[in-house]
Amino acid sequence: MLSPSGASRSPEVGIVNPSLVHRHRYGRLAVFAALCLAVGSAWAGFDTTPARHALQRLLPRHQAQFTLVALEGQGVDRFEISGTPGHVVVAGTSPATLLTGVETYLEQVTHTSFGWPGDSVDRLPATLPAPPSPIGRTSKVPDRFALNDVDDGYSDAYLDWPSWEHKLDLLALHGINEVFIPIGTEEVYRRTFREFGYDDAQIRAWIPAAGHQPWWLLQNMSAFGGPMSTVQFARRTELAKKIVARLRELGMTAVMPGYFGTVPAGFAERHAGVHVVPQGEWVGFTRPDWLDPRDPMYGRVAAAFYRHQRELFGDSTLYKMDLLHEGGRAGDVPVDLAAQHVMQALQAAHPDARWVILGWQHNPPMAVIDAVDHRRLLIVDGLSDRYEGLDRERDWHGAPYAFGAISNFGGHTTLGANTGVWLSRFPAWRDKQGSALHGIAYMPEGTGTDPAAFALFTALAWQALPTEPAPWFADYATYRYGGADAHASAAWRVLATTAYAMPSNDWSEPQDSLFNARPDLAVRTAAHWSPETMRYDAGHFDQAVCELLQVAPALRETSAYRYDLVDVTRQALANQARVLLPRIGAAYGAKDIPTFRVLTGQWMDDMAMLDRLLATEPHFLLGHWLSNARHAAGNDAEAAQLEYDQRSLITSWGDRSGADRGGLHDYANRELSGLVSGLYAPRWQRYFDSLAKAMADGTPPAPIDWFAMEQAWAHARDAQRTTPQGDAWQLANEATQRIRICPATAATVDPR
């Protein structure tokens, strides 16, 4: 029941200690709590224990000062916050919503927060303060979806359970209630196609290694990096069971992959007369075949798929699948009829479930939308902030959709987003007459790289926000670091008007780093599909670093500050490369060897400076990216296989055809200590050396096989540091002096 501290836990409903009711300042919630105590048997509510356990993980020193109360939902998620010093009462309509209330309390009352990554909760006082007045919020939309189809690959396909546990806690804290979980689907496919003529070895050879599985599920590719061992199948299946169980405990929905017709090679040969449509290629990879959903065999396979999925993970109400994703071929199959049969199979297995579809490029086809009951659809839009002239009710014929954005393709470490577009467009779309907007969809291709974008985007669903970024970022600066600071506010004002004020001009992410590109004097982007020019004023952006360096020493101890200082300084260094490279090109064009050597030396020194800076923060360590894969392996040979899966994904991505002909090389480029010094810097040094030799000899530069160089690095097994080293403040200050971006009056000595 109740501890003297006021912590409440009941097998049926969290209730407030009667003694607290008498001391409570806020009559409305006190009356509600008393009613819960009196009539708890009439309304069982829900078990608040999962939320309590999350607080024990997140706030072990303060969790006992929270009393958690179950509110009746009435179809809409909401929470209420009140209390007295040391006794904070949070009431909510689900365990996850209780956690959203806790995060709101932290931000609004204690001026601390949990970010992704970085937090400031170490600055909480011993006794939690009471809210000055009750705080109540109701979700503005019912569907609050998170995670891109490819997040599991680009964020880290080898995360262990404690890491996933924290990921789910963060999503709940920020109000998400629907989470896409593809993990474990490989086991569903393995069990399914054992029933249709394939042995275990054949199925495992078809399924890629974990890091590349998202594109297999999207029907883009197969086999790369595999086969996975049976141990890996079992590990990921057990992990998926834990994830799905935790989501259910928190009152959240696991969005699971549905079955839309993907089959292994040779399916038609095993089943005479079955209609299979070859899908051609996807950026250099042979795509898996598509089983015509009209064919009677499709119904049999789909039923087996959903049966095995249910046996492993139970039921859900949301299933995600995309017909003909990124260039898939319908062949002679009428798309509308295919969609009807896909929906029929889903409804046969899960009556009243909704089909979740990604809004991306030409997806979903209008034939799909018009062929099925709109009430059974949810389109998670990946392009809400990218283009002008969008009208989603017109575009999708009134089908329900979630406002979404993809702000870091490939999991790039580049910083920024079109937040001004979010702030103006989301409420306008939601409130217009006949709106079909039902939710938000947080879908960066890799999560855990931009805490400000995460915090702002998820806030759209819970509160009225200003129509311009600057006011929101002013508040964010305070709770991000655990207290008000003039320099922190100034830094985030700069960021709000530069990296986070980009327009909807055909892009939804910032430019990536030229340090990360395959070397060329004319190169303008590292990834083939990234913006080629700066999307904001780099000179103004630099001032954010100068202001962050002057934040009060007490606030610098938070993990949030350390992450942001490294991230913003890293971005300033990367932006400088776009100024320096044209000067190097001009020196080469003029055959000015002395100037060329000076400028290329400066470039290489900047990269060395960048790698040292990155080494101070765990989230920017290559070893951190690789460690989970190594730990997941059962033996040394498997460790080599899984590490290659990770290394290849962030460099050549796949084989030579995909990397060179398909343009996939460096698609997932990112600035990590160990990657910058281990591959990016050696690439540029080799290139500059070849140009210097060409100038000296009067000959064309010798061609370099970049793919071979990248593959050698991807197959390497060199040890990588997993713990940070160096002082982030000192190195950030050194970096600003090096690239001369801060005025002489800025702090150049750490006053600690």
| Tens-digit pLDDT profile for residues 47-85 | 999 999 999 999 999 999 999 999 997 789 999 999 999
Confidence tier at 15 by pLDDT (50, 70, 90):
very low
- Specify if 633 maps to a domain: yes
pLDDT at 744: 59
Nearby residues of 298 by Cβ (< 8 Å), 6 or more positions away: 261, 291, 292, 341, 345
Same domain, 68 and 167: no
DSSP 3-state assignment of 136? strand
The residue among 249, 283, 289 whose CA lies nearest residue 267 is 289
3-state secondary structure of 215: helix
In percent, how much of the chain has pLDDT > 90? Answer: 91
pTM: 0.94
Average the pLDDT over 16-41 and give the result: 39
Average pLDDT of the chain? 93
Gap between the Cα atoms of 48 and 39, Å rounded: 17
Residues 683 and 585 reside in one and the same domain: no
List the domain range (segments joined by +) for residue 586.
Answer: 468-501+536-618+726-752
Tokens 């600071």 identify what position? 485
pLDDT, position 73: 77
Q: What is the mean pLDDT of residues 607-626?
A: 97
pLDDT of residue 17: 35
Mean pLDDT score, 499-527: 97
User: 681 near 608, Cβ under 8 Å?
Assistant: yes
Same structural domain for residues 301 and 401?
yes
> What CA–CA distance (Å, rounded) separates 397 from 575?
42
Number of domains present in the structure of the chain: 4
Residue 740 has pLDDT above 50, yes or no: yes
Please tell me whether residues 256 and 162 are part of one structural domain: yes
The radius of gyration computed from the CA coordinates of the chain, to the nearest angstrom, equals 27
Give the model's pLDDT for residue 485.
98
The residue to which tokens 């400028």 are assigned? 599
pLDDT at 44: 54
Whether residue 93 is found in the same domain as residue 51: yes
Write the pLDDT tens digit of every residue in 678-719.
Answer: 999 999 999 999 999 999 999 999 999 999 999 999 999 999
**Each residue's pLDDT tens digit, 314-347:** 999 999 999 999 999 999 999 999 999 999 999 9
Per-residue pLDDT at 186: 98
Give residue 75's pLDDT.
85
Same domain, 543 and 642: no
Q: What is the pLDDT of residue 388?
A: 95
pLDDT, residue 454, reads 98
pLDDT given at position 158: 98
Q: pLDDT band at residue 20, thresholds of 50, 70 and 90?
A: very low
**What is the SS3 assignment for 68?**
strand
Q: Which of 350, 351, 259 is nearest to 298 (CA)?
A: 259
Residues 388, 305: one domain?
Answer: yes
Does 577 lie in the same domain as 453? Answer: no
Number of CB atoms found within 10 A of residue 109's CB: 18
Average pLDDT in the 101-111 region?
Answer: 98
**Interval 433-454: pLDDT, tens:** 999 999 999 999 999 999 999 9
List beta partners, residue 401: 379, 437
Backbone angles phi, psi at 253, to 5 degrees: -110, 130
Same domain, yes or no: 646 and 579: no
Mean pLDDT across 585-607: 98
> How does pLDDT run across 221-263, given as a tens digit for each residue?
999 999 999 999 999 999 999 999 999 999 999 999 999 999 9
Cβ burial of 745 (10 Å; 0-12, 13-18, 19+) is exposed
485 and 592 housed in the same domain: yes
Do both 88 and 160 map to the same domain?
no
Q: What is the largest CA-CA distance in the chain?
A: 92
Q: What is the side-by-side order of every strand in the sheet holding 87-92? A: 66-70, 87-92, 78-84, 135-138
